[in-house]
């Protein structure tokens, strides 16, 4: 009886610890990574589990990104942020890089979506389409990047929406 109870408790604790570990891992990566701000362009689809998100292209300021027929099939690629360059091999003299892969003509690094509240999805989408958006990234040494925040007109998106609401209420 005690053994069954203990097994049940262990089975219940496993997912809680795993989920907490996942959160801790993300928090660690965000805090340790070097911060970069890059401009974006995008639109708004939705995810079954997590709701609405903006999907965008990041303007890395690099020429020849994933260009050519060889990227019809997915291939690993790297963008060096300092100095700015693109390569298929891990760059040697690069102080900060983002690792990802080319599929077609797109470079994907797993940072191309930003979840937004359903009520504000349209407003933010319009702002991003109007080239007012940029993304704050935390990039670690191995090239893995995580999103820290979305900026609209150089201010956090929450502040931007609040300012917009204040202007609308005054009018």
Partner 1 sequence: MGDKSLRRLKQTLNDWANQGLISWEQCQAIEAYEAKRPQVSWILYGFMSLGVAVLAIGIVSLIAANWRDIPGSIKLSLDFCILIALAIAVVYAWKRQRPMLYEALLSLFLLLCLASIGLISQVFHTGGELYMALLFWSAITFALSLAAQKSFVPFLWASLFILGFALFLLDGKLLHHLFYQRSTITYLILPLFCLLLAVIFQYSKRFPMHLNALRQLSLITGLIGLVVVESGLYGRSGNYHLNYFMFSYIFAALGLLLILLNPHYRKIQKWILCCIIAIYLFLFHLPSFGISSDLIYAILSVVLLISVALYFASIKSRKLFNLFILLAGLRVLIVYFQALGGLAYTGVGLILSGLLILISIWLWQRYRQPLQNWTEGFTA
The piece of 63-71, 80-88, 114-122, 125-133 that touches partner 1 (CB under 8 A) is: 114-122
Site for partner 1 in 121-140 (CB under 8 A): none
> Could you tell me the CA-to-CA distances from 86 to 65, 109, 147 in Å, in that order?
6, 13, 21
The piece of 10-18, 33-41, 59-67, 80-88 that touches partner 1 (CB under 8 A) is: 10-18
Instruction: Report the residue number, 5 or 93, with the smaller CB distance to partner 1.
Output: 5
Contact 157, 124 (CB under 8 A): yes
Task: Mark 58-77 with x for binding to partner 1 (rule: CB under 8 A) and - for no binding.
Answer: ---------------xx---
**Minimum separation from the CB atom of position 118 to partner 1 (A):** 5
Instruction: Report the residue number, 72 or 95, with the smaller CB distance to partner 1.
Output: 72
Q: Is residue 39 near partner 1 by the rule CB under 8 A?
A: no
- Dihedral through CA 21, CA 75, CA 88, CA 62, nearest 10? -80
The piece of 5-13, 58-66, 80-88, 90-98 that touches partner 1 (CB under 8 A) is: 5-13
Q: Is residue 10 near partner 1 by the rule CB under 8 A?
A: yes
The values of phi and psi at residue 153, to 5°, are 50, 45
Long-range CB pairs of 90-98 (<8 Å, 24+ gap) are 90/143, 96/34, 96/36, 96/139, 97/139, 97/143, 98/60, 98/137, 98/139, 98/143, 98/145
Distance CA 104, CA 85 (A): 19
Q: Is residue 84 near partner 1 by the rule CB under 8 A?
A: no
Residue of 62, 94, 147, 164 interacting with partner 1 (CB under 8 A): 147
- The site for partner 1 (CB under 8 A) is made up of 5, 7-16, 18-20, 22-23, 26, 30, 46-53, 73-74, 101, 108, 110-120, 146-147, 158, 161
């Amino acid at each position: 009886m005690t053994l069954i109870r203990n097994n049940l408790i262990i089975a219940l604790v496993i997912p809680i610890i795993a989920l907490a570990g996942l959160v801790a891992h993300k928090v660690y990566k965000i805090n340790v990574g070097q911060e970069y701000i890059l401009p974006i362009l995008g639109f708004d689809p939705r995810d079954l589990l997590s709701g609405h998100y903006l999907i965008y292209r990041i303007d890395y300021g690099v020429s020849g990104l994933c260009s050519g027929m060889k990227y019809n099939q997915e291939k690993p690629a790297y963008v060096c942020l300092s100095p700015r360059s693109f390569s298929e091999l891990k760059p040697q003299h690069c102080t900060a890089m983002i690792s990802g892969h080319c599929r077609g003509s797109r470079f994907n690094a797993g940072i191309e979506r930003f979840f937004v509240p359903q009520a504000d999805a349209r407003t933010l989408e319009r702002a991003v389409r109007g080239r007012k958006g940029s993304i704050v990234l935390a990039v670690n040494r191995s090239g893995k990047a995580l999103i820290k925040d979305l900026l609209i007109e150089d201010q956090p998106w929450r502040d931007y929406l609040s300012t917009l609401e204040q202007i609308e209420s005054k009018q």
